[in-house]
């Protein structure tokens, strides 16, 4: 079993099950005492870490499962919640689900004082200017931007 930076083995097993997509095992581990809101050595919680994990494509069914099990989607690191991670994964479907589940669209960086909306608008402009993105990336990013606005995010 790989270590994922969580303090105890049960939480590391839970994250391994999240990565493998084993919903039954995720539920079993949480019912056995694994902490769905555990944070790793970088203070990422399980949903942030899952969405940022580069060795796989995030599965919305796994996101739904861990949200239903009670993960705090409004947990913040430096002012940003898991919507930032979902944006970085370029997954409008996951952003929409998280917003519908009650995740706050209005988060503000404690580092730079910019909102998530500001950050995404800047990122889209920068990536377009550098011609480094695909049409698919742009479409997803614009959907995410509109979803945040629809859910009350302000710049």
Nearest CA to 36 among 13, 9, 75, 66? Answer: 66
CA atoms within 13 Å, Cβ hemisphere of 94: 28
Banded pLDDT at 1 (limits 50, 70, 90): very low
Domain of 135? Answer: 73-155
Q: What is the mean pLDDT of residues 95-119?
A: 95
Are residues 107 and 136 both part of a single domain? yes
Are residues 39 and 95 both part of a single domain? no
Are residues 79 and 122 both part of a single domain? yes
Question: Phi-psi category of 58—alpha, beta or left, where left has phi over 0 and alpha has psi -120 to 50?
Answer: beta
- Which of 12, 46, 72 corresponds to the end of one domain? 72
Are residues 37 and 91 both part of a single domain? no
CB neighbour list of residue 69: distance below 8 Å, 6 or more residues apart: 26, 27, 30, 36
Are residues 63 and 85 both part of a single domain? no
Higher-pLDDT residue of 98 and 1 is: 98
Q: Model pTM?
A: 0.92
Torsion of CA 111, 114, 115, 121, to 10 degrees: -130
Q: What is the pLDDT of residues 9-23, one digit of tens each?
A: 999 999 999 999 999
């Amino acid at each position: 079993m790989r270590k994922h930076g969580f303090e105890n083995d049960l939480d590391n097993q839970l994250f391994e099950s999240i990565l493998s997509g084993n919903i039954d095992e995720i539920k079993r581990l949480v019912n056995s005492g694994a902490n769905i809101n555990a944070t790793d050595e970088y203070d990422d919680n399980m949903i942030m870490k899952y969405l940022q994990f580069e060795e796989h494509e995030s599965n919305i069914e796994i996101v739904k499962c861990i949200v239903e099990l009670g993960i705090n989607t409004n947990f913040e690191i430096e002012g940003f919640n898991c919507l930032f991670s979902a944006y970085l994964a370029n997954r409008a479907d996951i952003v929409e689900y998280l917003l519908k589940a009650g995740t706050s669209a209005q988060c503000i960086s404690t580092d730079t004082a910019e909102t998530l909306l500001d950050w995404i608008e800047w990122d889209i402009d920068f990536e377009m200017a550098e011609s480094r993105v695909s049409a698919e990336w742009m479409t997803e990013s614009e959907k995410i931007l509109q979803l945040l606005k629809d859910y009350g995010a302000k710049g």
